[in-house]
Amino acid sequence: MSTPLLSYIVLSYNYEEYIGITINSILSQTHQDFEIVVVDDASRDNSVDVVRSFDDPRIRLFVHEENRGACIALAWALREARGEWIVNLDADDWIAPEKAERQLARAKTTGADIIGTWVRFVDERGQPHPRAVELEEAANQPHQFDLVESWIGRNILCRSSTMVRRAMIERIGTPELTMVRAPDYEHWVRALAAGFRFDMVEEPLTYYRLQPRGVTFGDPMGTLLEMCWAKARNLVPLAERRGLNEDISAMLRWLVESDQRLELTPTQSLRLIGALTLGPNCADYAAWRDMILGPTPEPIYERAGRSMLNLIIGSGQLSLVAKLLTDCHAYIEARDWWKAQSDMWEANALALKDRVHQQSIDSGRRRSWHQYFRKGASLC
């Protein structure tokens, strides 16, 4: 069997109603030198049957016996893929027929390693999303992908639109297996830090389905933590190498002004700010997350976080909203301290009440015995 130029990676979990559209859009491509590697992550619906209904030898299906998560499914798919280019496409999205041809032509012209396209946003039924105009105006813009500042606030590259050289993945590795919400963002900024080149076909050739089941939008706090890990691991060191102090300050302001930071305890918030500043000292994201959220004191990160927060506030770089969030954290910390004091006082009061009550009982018993003996003496 000849080696295909393109390996489409399709990850599926309970996408029976969508995956047929996804596969048909690949089979309809004007460039036909490809294989389709489908990994089903133990779907409970008929997704596997839908894939098997296609009679095309280029489709290779692999099925997990139990649900293991998208990153593990992706790692398996990448091991099986044989193409020079890895083409990502989620099982609920689809692509225009000329997408691969346009991206390959762009790669030949620019020599880029990661190439995306502009997107169309659709709803669960595949119709234009109610906010499509707003979302597409924000997303479908020229970006300077090689600049750190372009990646500070959000992921500017839709995974389902991308075509990636296999050589890049072989050099920097696959997305982190312990990440759930923002593994693509971490992978892109890791590639940026390693010197790989990005490009974009500025045509809406990818149809991206926004739906409640989407992973990224289901846990904003989880997304914040994963994006902070990606910045601490890749963007901050890259900015330091390039001498981009303003970009490092912008990353700190982005974190301090984030609404999700308010969901953390004051101590966790300080750790997160400190860890973004000092960089990760952990093997992977899971260990780093446990360090941020766990009960074990982390004095170095907490001190660094407090210093950076004071520096930002003192320099006047903190917005009114962020100042309010900081004040709320201080209020929460004071409230929790007074609550602990109140609980201690209440416990002491209850203990004192119990002692007084017990002393009253003991005193009553002594009076009873005294009266009993007095009565006995008079009878004698």
User: Tens of pLDDT along the chain (380 residues)?
Assistant: 689 999 999 999 999 999 999 999 999 999 999 999 999 999 999 999 999 999 999 999 999 999 988 889 999 999 999 999 999 999 999 999 999 999 999 999 999 999 999 999 999 999 999 999 999 999 999 999 999 999 999 999 999 999 999 999 999 999 998 999 999 999 999 999 999 999 999 999 999 999 866 555 568 999 999 999 999 999 999 999 999 999 999 999 999 989 898 899 999 999 999 999 998 889 899 999 999 999 999 999 999 999 988 887 776 655 444 444 455 455 556 656 666 777 788 888 787 777 877 777 666 655 554 554 454 444 43
The whole-model pTM stands at 0.82
Side-chain-side CA neighbours of residue 168 (13 Å): 24
Same domain, 238 and 315: yes
Q: CA-to-CA distance for 50 and 143, rounded, in angstroms?
A: 38
CATH code of the domain containing 157: 3.90.550.10
Q: 353 in a domain, yes or no?
A: no
Same domain, 289 and 323: yes
Q: CA-to-CA distance for 318 and 326, rounded, in angstroms?
A: 10
Same domain, 291 and 190: no
Q: 360 in a domain, yes or no?
A: no
Q: CA-to-CA distance for 216 and 181, rounded, in angstroms?
A: 5
The token duo for 144 is 């300077």
pLDDT of residue 121: 98
Pick the last residue of a domain from 170, 188, 218.
218
Q: 373 in a domain, yes or no?
A: no
Same domain, 255 and 299: yes
Q: 229 in a domain, yes or no?
A: yes
Residue 327 CB neighbours (<10 A): 10
Residue 284 CB neighbours (<10 A): 14
pLDDT of residue 364: 63
85 pairs with which residues across the strands? 6, 165
Q: CA-to-CA distance for 111 and 97, rounded, in angstroms?
A: 22
pLDDT of residue 337: 67
Same domain, 323 and 181: no
Same domain, 229 and 249: yes
Q: CA-to-CA distance for 212 and 214, rounded, in angstroms?
A: 5
Residues in the chain: 380
Same domain, 77 and 226: no
SS3 assignment for the chain: CCCCCEEEEEEECCCCCCHHHHHHHHHCCCCCCEEEEEEECCCCCCHHHHHHCCCCCCEEEEECCCCCCHHHHHHHHHHHCCCCEEEECCCCCEECCCHHHHHHHHHHHHCCCEEEEEEEEECCCCCECCCHHHHHHHHCCCCCCCCHHHHCCCCCCCHHHCEEEHHHHHHHCCCCCCCCCCHHHHHHHHHHHCCCCEEEEEEEEEEEECCCCCCHHHCHHHHHHHHHHHHHHHHHHHHHHHCCHHHHHHHHHHHHCCHHHHHCCHHHHHHHHHHHHHCCCCCCHHHHHHHHHCCCCCHHHHHHHHHHHHHHHHCCCCCHHHHHHHHHHHHHHHHHHHHHHHHHHHHHHHHHHHHHHHHHHHHHHHHHHHHHHHHHHHHC
Decide the pairing of beta strands 59-63 and 163-165: unpaired
Q: 362 in a domain, yes or no?
A: no
Pick the last residue of a domain from 319, 334, 349.
334
pLDDT of residue 183: 95
Same domain, 211 and 226: no
Same domain, 73 and 140: yes
Q: Are 36 and 13 in contact (CB under 8 A)?
A: no
The count of domains in the chain is 2
Question: CA dist 324 to 13, 279, 327, Å?
Answer: 41, 27, 5
Q: 368 in a domain, yes or no?
A: no
Same domain, 214 and 251: no
Which one-letter amino acid corresponds to residue 367?
R
Pick the last residue of a domain from 218, 235, 265.
218
Q: Are 255 and 280 in contact (CB under 8 A)?
A: no
Same domain, 200 and 233: no
Residue 189 CB neighbours (<10 A): 22
Q: 372 in a domain, yes or no?
A: no
Range of the domain at 50: 6-218
Same domain, 310 and 262: yes
Q: 172 in a domain, yes or no?
A: yes
